[in-house]
Amino acid sequence: MAAARVLVIDGNRAAVREQQRAAGGSDTGEGYAQVLGQLAQVSCDIVRPADGEVRFAPGSGLGSYDGVAITGSALNIYDGGAAVERKFIASLGLDPNSIDNGDGSGLTQGDRITPHDLATLLQWETRSSNGHAFISALAVAGVNGTVRHHLLGSDAVGRVRAKDGYIWHVSTFSGYARTKHHGLIVFSVMFNDADGRRKPFLAAEDKIVETIVDWP
């Protein structure tokens, strides 16, 4: 079976991509292509329209791809987004300087957020007008999506909607747990310096969430 062809559109400009590489990571387009390659058998091409780098092979175009992935943050539809973001973060009682998502994708070590701050953002979603749609869009741990291998063999399967992640020695697992005795609980587990095999860190993440679900 031939590999699916995916076009990765990196919205960041050259200066931002260079900052990402200088921080020890890959630029967003390359990082996204690497992640896709780990998830499925795909062949990725990358274009960078913010710098005018949009070139297709002769006879090919958008229609020749099986899918398109868009990443990066330079192609905004409005100005002042950073200021709006900082104001929103401050409205939650958080320090805007404690969060750095300069590349807009989370695919670089230059991004920073604490488990407390991420949990606060997830908690806000439970009160927002679109929060139900957001939570429902998350995969169910032990059932589907990228978290389908989490919590297997435990009674927490089917009770957790979450997103996991791994990049350059950082392993995370965050979302919502429908507990047995305390209703809906927001959680965010993050491991820095996750060196070596990832399996022990995944097991620790699962154990923490299982404990939350079963808390008497």
Q: Where in the chain is the domain with CATH 3.40.710.10?
A: 113-214
Tell me the average pLDDT across 160-169. 88
pLDDT in tens, 73-130: 655 544 556 677 788 889 999 998 888 766 555 556 667 889 999 999 999 999 988 8
What is the Cα–Cα distance from 165 to 67, expressed in whole angstroms? 22
Nearest residue to 158 via CA among 178, 174, 130? 178
Question: Domain 113-214 maps to which CATH number in 3.40.630.40, 3.30.450.20, 1.20.910.10, 3.40.710.10?
Answer: 3.40.710.10
Q: What radius of gyration, in Å, describes the C-alpha atoms of the chain? A: 19
Determine how β-strand 4-10 pairs with β-strand 42-47.
parallel
Q: Which residue has the higher pLDDT, 46 or 23?
A: 46
Percent of the chain predicted with pLDDT > 70: 89
pLDDT value of residue 74: 55
Three-state secondary structure readout of the chain: CCCEEEEEEECCCHHHHHHHHHCCCCCHHHHHHHHHHHHCCEEEEEEEHHHCECCCCCCCCHHHCCEEEEECCCCCCCCCHHHHHHHHHHHCCCCHHHCECCCCCCCCCCCECCHHHHHHHHHHHCCCCCHHHHHHHCEECCCCHHHCCCCCCCCCCCCEEEEEEECCCCEEEEEEEECCCCCEEEEEEEECCCCCCCHHHHHHHHHHHHHHHHCC
Give the percent of the chain with pLDDT over 90. Answer: 36
Looking at the whole model, is its pTM more than 0.75?
Answer: no
pLDDT given for residue 11 in this prediction: 82
Amino acid at 16: V
Sheet holding 4-10, edge to edge: 42-47, 4-10, 67-71
CA atoms within 13 A on the CB side of 155: 7
Express each pLDDT in 179-204 by its tens digit: 999 999 999 999 988 888 888 999 99
**By the 8 A CB rule, do 6 and 64 touch?**
no
Euclidean distance between CA atoms 212 and 189, whole angstroms? 12
Q: How far apart are CA 4 and CA 22, in angstroms?
A: 31
Q: Are 80 and 99 within 8 A, CB to CB?
A: no
What confidence score (pLDDT) does residue 81 get? 62
